[in-house]
A and B are shown apart, each in its own frame.
Chain A
Amino acid sequence: MEKQEVKILIADDDPGHVRLVIRNLQRGGLTNEILTFSTGREILDFLQSIISPDRGRDPKDKDPLHGSYLLLLDIRMPDIDGVEVLRRIKEDPQLRRLPVTMLTTTDDPREIARCYELGCSQYIVKPVDYEKFAETVRKFGMFVTLVRLPQV
């Protein structure tokens, strides 16, 4: 089977947060391609573009996104916020299986519960304790590696 490289998608409107995540993913040994988006609309448009009708029609490609993308999603973004992006992803039969990790500064339990209800895979509160944050991001890096390995 062809080796599938997982691409990491980061949707966050704060360029500093994006840089920190990237630096830490790379320090954690990740060499995966990383694509960044700064608004909810941008990431939704991108996801729509990768489930173009052509892909959907290919009979061998029943689940075009499975295993090939992972999304790190911030909640508070201008235009469409992260919770709404998550809702739309989980409502779309072709996008539903995309693993989504919420990566945000809120630790509001109601919001966390809501995201899990909607079907996010993981919820990371961007902590001011940076060591912990780096650790979480590195673990996420490991998670990506594990997801990739069985497909080789």
Chain B
Amino acid sequence: MSHCENQGQSLPGHNHNPHHNGSASTAPEARPGLSTSGGCPSPSDKPQNPAQTNNHYTHRRAESSGDHLKAIIENVVEGIISIDDHGIIESINPAALRIFGYTSEELIGQNVKMLMPEPYRGHHDGYLHAYRQTGEARIISKGREVLGRRKNGEVFPMDLAVGEVNLPGRRLFTGIIRDISERKNSEIHVRQLARSLQEKNQELESVVYIASHDLRSPLVNIQGFSIELSHSCRRLTQLLDSSKLSEPALQNELDTILKEEIPEALEFIFAGVNKMDGLLSGFLKFSRLGRVSMDQRCLDLNSLIREVLSAMKYQIQQKSARIETGYLPECCADHLQLSQVFTNLIDNALKYSDPDRAPRISIYSEESPHENEIIVVVQDNGVGIRPEHLEKIFDVFFRLQPHEGIGEGLGLAIAKRIVHRLGGRIWVDSSVNEGSRFFLALPIQSDNG
């Protein structure tokens, strides 16, 4: 290396000499830029047979190939920047100027780190220094995705490939840059779509699963007890046809059939029909939610909650529940639909209250780790939810106390569906016998803005 540098002092001019290019090509083991001693061009590398015509030809060809290369570099879509080994920009093509938004006067002679955002900006000189000392490359001769910084301060993702060019006496690094912010944005968009598709698919699967169970369940009863009824009818006919039975025995049998078996069968059939009817209207209600158009705008949650509570006044008084509300920040949602969500949550809190204590419901906000959203908590001191049910409670038709005869198992499924359509999230945290906390993350700004 030092051998090259010592000899290289006299070479920069030489380097631009097309004669030199021609001569180097005649010595395959002595490619310029190779940092072995054998690769250092020396005066003895001059052409052995400098035929004038040949030289002239080489010169012309080199000149035209130089113009050709220049034209390519000026017109490629990729940005090309070359720097010296201290990071100082030596040349930059128009595409790179367009990408970063500078003029070449603003960049030539400046440190390339000005095109990087922090923390890379602060590290770059260190990387170059380390490479000069140890030769350990972090990015050189590898391509990778990095962040760039435009003149207007915008940080954007780019593909960067860095090559090293060893010239006699010094070396250059050439970076080829492609602005990939558009591709990145579409990638993010595609990922979001895929995720929402996956969620929809899961929702659909769970609905199909539920349909195969819950919708068939009443049918088993309706059909089963209809057949029981026909059995009863057949036996009635047989009894009335036969004269073998004595009066009291006949009366006994008739009593069993008419007063026990038939009414029981009818009762199960009617119950099955009603249940089926309820399930189907629940399904319709749930599916209609997907078609309701959302009128998403900035809302004062405090007044929305006041309205919800006043509409539920009767239920709240019946349960002697105490409701506490903290100050809630603004969010962006559909007023009617979000009211439905809070109604369902408060309704659940009242429904699953602990009989041993008066219900207490608190509604307050919490700080979100994410920008652009707020978190509202609806906390109760009810019976709580067992860990194994935490995921199921948002399923269609899932009910914690199916025999209590309350609810249709849709409250939370509807709440979840609405919140998702509003671009938010809902989740729960609960301890058995202590109570539950439902969390609602709602956007501050509209998605379509």
Chain A residues within 8 Å of B, Cβ to Cβ: 13-17, 19-20, 23, 38, 75-76, 78-80, 84, 104-108, 126-131, 133-134
Q: If the complex has contacts A78-B399, A130-B227, are A19 and B264 also in contact, measured as CB distance less than 8 A?
A: yes
CB distance from A150 to the nearest CB of B (A): 32
Give the chain A neighbours of B264 by CB distance below 8 A: 19
CB distance from A44 to the nearest CB of B (A): 13
Number of interface residues of B (CB under 8 A): 27
Q: If the complex has contacts A128-B223, A130-B224, are A19 and B268 also in contact, measured as CB distance less than 8 A?
A: yes
Other contacts beyond A105-B217, A130-B226: 20, CB < 8 A: A13-B402, A13-B403, A14-B217, A16-B224, A17-B221, A20-B220, A38-B403, A75-B213, A76-B217, A78-B399, A79-B386, A84-B388, A105-B212, A105-B216, A106-B209, A126-B216, A128-B219, A128-B220, A130-B224, A130-B227
Contact with A along B201-245 (1 / 0, CB 8 A): 000000001001110110111011111100000000000000000
Give the chain A neighbours of B32 by CB distance below 8 A: none
Task: Judge whether A133 and B401 touch: CB under 8 Å.
Answer: no
Q: If the complex has contacts A20-B228, A78-B399, are A133 and B220 also in contact, measured as CB distance less than 8 A?
A: yes
Task: Judge whether B212 and A108 touch: CB under 8 Å.
Answer: yes
Give the chain A neighbours of B209 by CB distance below 8 A: 106, 108
A118 to B214, CA, bound (A): 24
A130 to B226, CA, bound (A): 9
Task: Judge whether B213 and A106 touch: CB under 8 Å.
Answer: yes
Give the chain A neighbours of B382 by CB distance below 8 A: none
A38 to B, closest residue via Cβ: B403
Task: Judge whether A105 and B213 touch: CB under 8 Å.
Answer: yes
Chain B residues within 8 Å of A, Cβ to Cβ: 209, 212-214, 216-217, 219-221, 223-228, 264, 268, 271-272, 386, 388-389, 399-403
Partner of B225, one of A13, A16, A76, A128: A16
Task: Judge whether B399 and A105 touch: CB under 8 Å.
Answer: no
CB distance from A41 to the nearest CB of B (A): 10
A57 to B4, CA, bound (A): 91
Task: Judge whether B224 and A76 touch: CB under 8 Å.
Answer: no
Give the chain A neighbours of B213 by CB distance below 8 A: 75-76, 104-106
Which label, helix, strand, loop or mixed, suits the secondary structure of the B interface?
helix
Shortest 4 CB-CB distances between A and B: which pairs? A16-B221, A20-B224, A105-B216, A16-B268
B389 to A, closest residue via Cβ: A79
Task: Judge whether B402 and A20 touch: CB under 8 Å.
Answer: no
CB distance from A124 to the nearest CB of B (A): 12
A-B contact pairs, 16 of them (CB 8 A): A16-B220, A16-B268, A16-B271, A17-B221, A17-B224, A19-B264, A20-B225, A38-B403, A78-B402, A79-B389, A80-B388, A104-B213, A106-B213, A108-B212, A128-B216, A134-B227
B386 to A, closest residue via Cβ: A79
CB distance from A18 to the nearest CB of B (A): 10
Q: If the complex has contacts A16-B224, A16-B225, A128-B223, are A78 and B212 also in contact, measured as CB distance less than 8 A?
A: no
CB distance from B272 to the nearest CB of A (A): 7
Among B216, B264, B400: residue with most chain A CB under 10 A? B216
Among B223, B264, B271: residue with most chain A CB under 10 A? B223
Task: Judge whether B272 and A16 touch: CB under 8 Å.
Answer: yes
Give the chain A neighbours of B388 by CB distance below 8 A: 80, 84
A79 to B214, CA, bound (A): 16
A107 to B213, CA, bound (A): 9
A131 to B399, CA, bound (A): 31
A76 to B225, CA, bound (A): 21
A111 to B, closest residue via Cβ: B209
A16 to B269, CA, bound (A): 9
B397 to A, closest residue via Cβ: A76
Give the chain B neighbours of A20 by CB distance below 8 A: 220-221, 224-225, 228
A19 to B228, CA, bound (A): 11
Task: Judge whether B223 and A78 touch: CB under 8 Å.
Answer: no
Partner of B220, one of A76, A80, A105, A107: A105
CB distance from B267 to the nearest CB of A (A): 9
B226 to A, closest residue via Cβ: A130
Partner of B217, one of A17, A79, A127, A130: A17
A127 to B216, CA, bound (A): 9
Give the chain B neighbours of A127 by CB distance below 8 A: 220
Task: Judge whether A106 and B403 touch: CB under 8 Å.
Answer: no
Give the chain A neighbours of B214 by CB distance below 8 A: 76
CB distance from B180 to the nearest CB of A (A): 41
A79 to B432, CA, bound (A): 13
Partner of B224, one of A78, A104, A108, A133: A133
Partner of A107, one of B212, B223, B227: B212
